[in-house]
Chain A
Amino acid sequence: MVEWEYNNYLMVVKVLNDFLSKLNSQCSCVLQQRIEIRKLRQGEHLILGFSIGGGIDQDPGQNPFSEDKSDKGIYVTRVTPEGPAEVAGLMMGDKVMQVNGWDMTMVTHDQARKRLTKKNEDVVRLLVTRKSLEQAVKHSMM
């Protein structure tokens, strides 16, 4: 059983290393990224194709994506496959900092939702931060 685990471990480490080298070569330790999502009309709704969690009125300890467990920001918890958000490059775990210029770091969950679902806006421009995988693995190794 230990052998199996170890083999798996090696395999995963290899995969990770490959990925990291690719990352490093592209120099993409992305800190902040601007993502423009064009809303999709579904019936009478305009959807973006992702889900958010977080907010100053939510318990930040339950946020699986945040590094700092007192971070009450808005995080992307799910991205609908082939939805407008995925197409635009949004990823699960991204922290949304701004939406169309509005700050999202100090808002309630409902305020965040409202700012994303304004009926008169076709496009939302998000400013997101994303932890690079390297950082994530580093932390896990410690």
Chain B
Amino acid sequence: MASVNNSKNLRDSDIQKKIDHEIRMRDGACKLLAACSQRDQALEAAKSLLTCNTRIMAYMSELQRMKEAQVMQRVARRSDGTRSSDAGPMDDRLPCKGKVAISDLRIPLMWKDTEYFKNKGELHRCAVFCLLQVGGEIHDTDMVMVDRTLTDICFDNTIVFSEASPGFELRVELYSCCSEEDYSAGSAPRKLASKLSSSLGRSAGKKLRVAMDPGACSPTSNAGAATLLLPGPAVAGPKYHLLAHTSLSLSHVQDSFRTHDLSISGNEECSYWVPLYGSVCCRLAAQPHCMTQQMMSGCLKVKQLGGDPPSWTNVYGVLKGTNLFCYHRQEDMEANVEPAFTIAINKETRIRASEKDPHSKAQSICISNQYGGEEVTHTLSADSREETHRWMEAFWQQFCDMSQWKQCCDDLMKIELPSPRKPALVTSKQGSLYHEIVIDTSDDISTVTDILTRRMQELELRSQLGTSPPWMSLFEESPGGPRTPRLARHSPRSPHRLPHSPLSSLRCPWPGLLSSDASLTSDSDSPCSTSPCSRHRGWAEPLSLSSPRFRPRTLSLDAKLSTLRGRGYGGVLQCSCQPPSSSSLAPIPAQCVPQATLSCSSSTSSNSSSEGSHSPSSLDGTPFSRPSSARRSLRNLRAKLDPRNWLQSQV
């Protein structure tokens, strides 16, 4: 019992030390906040403050839980009169812990069209960062400044939690703070605030230490100390607010990038609002210790198959990951020589202890695996009964770990710790396409179209352009043609048809092509699918930038381009009065008699049998285009419902 108490005391003092450390950090942050004049410094200091506060709260609650557990145990003991089995082995097995790493966090944004035309004064900027928490471990990412030139918020940090259980819950919280407010509240109040903050910090710390004295406390006194600490110092300065959060667990762990939903708190009215798309992309990997560490090792005897009497080979076995490596000698393992042979120990393996072999004194262990339809059994024997028992224990533990860690035990996932040295090429702004394309303020819309043509030509020269991009038809004189001359070809699938130059880095997207494609859409704020996050490494990256990044400040691109369109297609629209060869819903120019539309639909209904199925439904559900859509190009109903153009899912 004394030993248990000692270990508990050790944990207590451990946490106490951590709390002390955080309090000191917090004091420092407060002082810095009070003293700094630069906005950036203030934001960083406020971030540290928030992180420290969160950590303190986490440690406090852990301490409280431990105290409560202690009290419960004491109460149980007193009522029972017997000693609780606090030192005995657990009946149920506990799975091993593991490393959990989250990296390459990316949160797409969804700016409204109106943002681009807000040219009054400076950009509205927000400072954001993420807090990641597993159990009592809290880490924060670097701070990123977000303004409307950014398409995604990217955090380059890789954060590793070293001791996570398989049932871990990784809480990701996104905090943001508007960076436009003026927080210089004058020197006098600041001095007062700093005095208050530092004194409160110290006194609270002392009280905390007294309260945390092991053996003297009860949960209530803890609570008292907690309330002293929690409100914290009142500091003038930037305040971060929780913008979004999500929780990830073992089911989200995968060896590649995945998209997860975010729960967003706050709305457009808040000063700290950043228009989030609603998802977060990241790579969540886990390395259970059973996959990376040696779980068991020792000398074994392996029965040779065949032969009578059976002969046994001496090996040195090492259980690691999903394999039992058998080396000739222990020295071989240390010298990193290849093992003599390897026996797989995975989800499909069956292990049992067989009856006593009359020749040997100990039980032997049979390991059966299925290798391509055939069952192969290895028989092992240890030196003594105790050894056999230990090996069986190790195998059971391995099975327990594998069942708890599930997909993490299939293959070892790589966790890369980032090198401390930052790469040399780091752009000051987060390299969005917006900054790559230079448009002079005095330029007219024609410059934009010139740039588009130039880009297209560059691309043609650089790579063989098989099919022309959809917006090329804008420059072609002939309307119609094999492809529906629809400009706003915005689907996530369209890049399939367009060649691409290999991306040099994640932030260096496809040169201009897709952005120009996107800029020609008449509707402005569709950010396009961000499911490309799952295709992170590929060329799908540019899709996330498809929100028009490319707007000249002077004139609405839409308006101009639609007149251009009108010029090109006016002729075609006039012809729509004739019964079309293929059934299409022609948009009605104002001067055309309604006859045109109805004749189209009537021709649909009287057309060939292939259209037969469409006709009744087309009368019910298909809308007739409004006159304002007269500007739009001709569309084939089937092309509209063509899944390549506009994503449709069957449910």
Known: A8-B602, A13-B598. A64 touches B620 (CB 8 A): no
Partner of B528, one of A47, A54, A57, A66: A57
| A60 sits at the interface (CB 8 A) | yes
Contact A139 B623 (CB under 8 A): yes
CB contact under 8 A between A52 and B649, given known A57-B530, A64-B640, A77-B641: yes
A99 to chain B, nearest CB (A): 10
Assembly CA distance A40 to B599 (angstroms):
40
Neighbouring B residues of A133 by C-beta, 8 Å: 619-620
- Stretch in contact with the other chain, from B138-146, B229-237, B624-632: B624-632
Q: A69 and B648 in contact (CB under 8 A), knowing A56-B110, A140-B598? A: no
Asked if A64 and B622 make an inter-chain contact with CB atoms under 8 angstroms apart, the answer reads: yes
B167 within 8 A of A: no
Give the one of B529, B585, B617, B650 with max A CB within 10 A.
B650
Tally inter-chain residue pairs, CB-CB below 8 A. 147
Chain B positions within 8 Å of A12 at CB level: 598, 601-602, 605
Residues of B within 8 A of A92 (CB): 617, 620-622
What separation, in Å, do the CA atoms of A5 and B600 have in the docked complex?
Answer: 10
- In the assembled complex, which residues on chain B have CB atoms less than 8 Å from the CB atom of A55? 529, 647
Contact of A108 with B624 in the complex, beta carbons under 8 Å: no
Q: Is B453 an interface residue (CB 8 A)?
A: no
A47 and chain B: residue at smallest CB distance:
B651
A139 near B490 with CB under 8 A, answer no
A6 to B220, CA, bound (A): 89
**Which residues of A lie under 8 Å from residue B648 when comparing CB positions?**
51-53, 77-78
Is A9's beta carbon under 8 Å from chain B?
Answer: yes
A8 touching B621 in the complex, CB below 8 Å, given contacts A13-B598, A108-B529: no
Interface residues on B, range: 35 or more
Chain B residue with the shortest CB-CB distance to A68? B626
B526 and A140 within 8 A (CB)? no
Quick check: B651 and A93 within 8 Å, CB to CB?
Answer: no
With A and B bound together, what is the CA distance between A66 and B624 in angstroms? 10
1/0 per residue, CB under 8 A from B, across A104-128: the answer is 0000111111001100000000000
Neighbouring A residues of B530 by C-beta, 8 Å: 57, 108
B597 at the A interface (CB under 8 A): yes
> B527 contacts A57, CB within 8 Å?
yes
Q: Given A5, A9, A53, which contacts B647 in the complex, CB threshold below 8 Å?
A: A53
Contact A5 to B624, CB < 8 A, known contacts A64-B640, A140-B588 = no
Shortest beta-carbon distance from B573 to chain A in Å: 16
Q: Tell whether A60 pairs with B526 under 8 Å between CB atoms, given A117-B651, A139-B626.
A: yes
Q: Would you list which residues of chain A between 69 and 92 have a CB under 8 Å from chain B?
A: 69-70, 72, 77-78, 91-92
Contact between A60 and B620, CB atoms less than 8 A apart: no
Cα distance A139–B629 when bound, in Å? 11
Complex contact A59–B523 (CB within 8 A): yes
- Determine which of A13, A59, A66, A109 lies in contact with B649 in the assembled complex, contact meaning CB atoms within 8 Å: A109
**In contact, A59 and B597 (Cβ under 8 angstroms):** no
**Known interface pairs A57-B529, A93-B622. Does A113 touch B523 (Cβ–Cβ under 8 Å)?**
no
- When the two chains form their complex, are residues A91 and B621 in contact, meaning their CB atoms are under 8 A apart? yes
Task: Closest B residue to A117 by CB, please name it.
Answer: B651
B533 to chain A, nearest CB (A): 11
Distance in angstroms from A100 CB to nearest chain B CB is 13
B475 interfacial by beta-carbon distance below 8 Å:
no
Residues of B within 8 A of A136 (CB): 623-624
In this complex, which of B526, B603, B605, B606 has the most chain A Cβ atoms within 10 angstroms of its Cβ? B526
Question: At the interface, yes or no: B579 with Cβ under 8 Å from chain A?
Answer: yes
- Residues on B with C-beta less than 8 A from A51 are 648-651
29 A-B residue pairs with Cβ-Cβ distance under 8 Å, sorted by A, are: A5-B579, A5-B595, A6-B595, A8-B603, A9-B595, A11-B602, A12-B605, A47-B651, A51-B649, A51-B650, A53-B646, A57-B529, A58-B529, A59-B488, A59-B523, A62-B490, A64-B635, A64-B637, A65-B622, A67-B623, A69-B523, A91-B620, A91-B621, A92-B621, A93-B620, A93-B623, A110-B529, A112-B649, A139-B624
B: residues with CB less than 8 A from A are 110, 261, 277-279, 486, 488, 490-491, 521-523, 526-531, 579, 585, 588, 594-595, 597-599, 601-603, 605-606, 617, 619-627, 629, 632, 635, 637, 640-641, 645-651
Question: Chain A residues in contact with chain B, CB under 8 A?
Answer: 5-6, 8-9, 11-13, 16, 47-48, 50-67, 69-70, 72, 77-78, 91-94, 108-113, 116-117, 131, 133, 136-137, 139-142
Ranked nearest first, the 6 interchain pairs of A and B with the lowest CB-CB distance are A93-B621, A140-B624, A59-B490, A62-B646, A92-B621, A8-B602
Contacts A8-B603, A137-B624 aside, 4 further interface pairs with beta carbons under 8 A come to A64-B623, A78-B641, A112-B649, A139-B624
